[in-house]
Amino acid sequence: MSRRLFNDTEWTPEARRLMGDIHKALESILAQEEEGGEIDLRDFHFVATSTISDLVSHQSIRRRLSPPAPQRGERGTQGGEWSGEE
């Protein structure tokens, strides 16, 4: 099961940190893009939210279609990969 970033309706410290990290990344990207002059913030908002939506959609599909990762202690997780030969 995936880790949750919220406890009921409360932001966890991890959620706050993640929001800060994303904010810094987007702020840096915006500054870099505006080196040649200001860009329309509505356009920037559209590109940023579309990118996040696209990333989440692709990751959701990939997670659903990928085989589950082996749990620690199963063959192939300790002492090198298991080749199937014994």
Query: Could you state, in order of their start, the residue ranges of all structural domains in the chain?
Result: 10-63
pLDDT digits (tens, 9 = 90+) for 49-80: 999 999 999 999 998 898 877 777 656 555 55
> Quick one: which of 24, 28, 4 has its CA closest to 14?
4
The gap from C-alpha 37 to its chain's centroid, in whole angstroms, comes to 30
Rounded to two decimals, what is the model's pTM? 0.66
pLDDT digits (tens, 9 = 90+) for 15-41: 999 999 999 999 999 999 999 999 999
